[in-house]
């Protein structure tokens, strides 16, 4: 999502919200989302549940952000620290979910389930609850990696190729690929870049569980 989308939503907001009232049945909502079809689905889901979307002079108690990168969540939290952030992810997986929550999101919704879960997530976040799908409950903490998986992932993080890793660990390239696939599955990522981003995030956050 372009950085300008968030700024365009935030620009009209004169003041941050005074606070979130947990008994307020209809929290006000701001939306930053691309592409247009996804934004229309989000707005339709909010309208169906009678959740008011902010106007030019309003300040949101909840900010719905559709983004795959946790930087968008961090930007939203920095701009409106009193607003609860609900993130919509195209594919809800362990790695992106953990990074979004670490960046400050209060709830996460799978884009495929906007119509059935977004309004519930918004109301839960407004009430101060952390809301994630039940199916993702076991993936909120990175799973433990085996010693060999940690070794392979560490070398991959250094930029070593599959052949180079195989040579250094005295194993076959096929074994390296299997270990990497196992690491990606456990961490909830799809490639080396996402795995490296997760490792970097863990290094920046001393309270984050060790994953390598």
Class of residue 78 by CB neighbours under 10 A (exposed 0-12, middle 13-18, buried 19+): exposed
Do the domains 147-204 and 3-139 match in fold?
no
3-state SS track over the chain: CCHHHHHHHHCCCCCCCCCCCCCCCCCCEEEECCCHHHHHHHHHHHHHCCCCECCCCCCCCEEEEECCCHHHHHHHHHHCCCCEEEEEECCCCHHHHHHHHHHCCCEEEEHHHHHHHHHHHHHHHHCCCCECCHHHHHHCCCCCCCHHHHHHHHHHHCCCCHHHHHHHHCCCHHHHHHHHHHHHHHHCCCCHHHHHHHHHHHHHCCCCCCCC
Do residues 119 and 48 touch, judged by C-beta distance below 8 A? Answer: yes
The pTM (predicted TM-score) of the whole model is 0.63
The confidence score (pLDDT) of residue 111 equals 93
d(CA 95, CA 188): 5
Q: Domains of the chain: which residue ranges?
A: 3-139, 147-204
d(CA 89, CA 99): 12
pLDDT higher than 50, residue 205: no
Least confident of 56-60, 132-136, 143-147: 56-60
When pLDDT is cut at 50, 70 and 90, the band that residue 84 belongs to is: very high
The confidence score (pLDDT) of residue 159 equals 87
Give the number of other Cβ atoms within 10 Å of residue 207's Cβ: 6
Do residues 89 and 108 touch, judged by C-beta distance below 8 A? Answer: yes
Domain 3-139 has CATH 3.30.365.10: no
For domain 147-204, give the CATH number.
1.10.10.10
Least confident of 19-23, 29-33, 106-110, 116-120: 19-23
How far, rounded to the nearest angstrom, does the alpha carbon of residue 130 sit from its chain's CA centroid?
Answer: 13
Give the range with max mean pLDDT: 4-8, 21-25, 49-53.
49-53
**Bigger pLDDT: 201 vs 161:** 161
**Bigger pLDDT: 45 vs 185:** 45
pLDDT higher than 80, residue 87: yes
Report residue 62: phi and psi, to 5°. Answer: -135, 140
pLDDT higher than 60, residue 2: no
Alpha carbons within 13 angstroms on the beta-carbon side of residue 203 total: 8
pLDDT higher than 70, residue 106: yes
């Amino acid at each position: 999502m372009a950085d300008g989308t968030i700024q365009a939503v935030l620009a009209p907001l004169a003041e941050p919200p005074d606070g979130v009232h947990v008994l307020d049945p209809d929290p006000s909502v701001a939306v930053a989302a691309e592409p247009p079809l996804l934004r229309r689905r989000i707005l339709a889901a909010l309208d169906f549940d009678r959740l008011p979307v902010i106007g030019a002079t309003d300040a949101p108690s909840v900010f719905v952000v559709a983004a795959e990168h946790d930087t968008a969540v961090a930007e939203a939290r920095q701009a409106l620290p009193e607003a609860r952030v609900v993130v919509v992810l195209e594919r809800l997986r362990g790695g992106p979910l953990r990074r979004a929550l670490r960046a400050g999101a209060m709830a996460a919704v799978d884009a495929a389930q906007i119509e059935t879960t977004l309004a519930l997530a918004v109301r839960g976040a407004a009430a101060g609850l952390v809301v994630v799908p039940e199916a993702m409950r076991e993936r909120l903490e990175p799973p433990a990696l085996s010693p060999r998986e940690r070794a392979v992932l560490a070398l991959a993080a250094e930029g070593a190729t599959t052949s180079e890793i195989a040579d250094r660990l005295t194993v076959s390239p096929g074994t390296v690929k299997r270990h990497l696939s196992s690491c990606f599955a456990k961490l909830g990522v799809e490639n080396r870049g996402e795995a490296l981003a997760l490792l970097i995030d863990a290094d920046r956050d001393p309270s984050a569980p060790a994953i390598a």
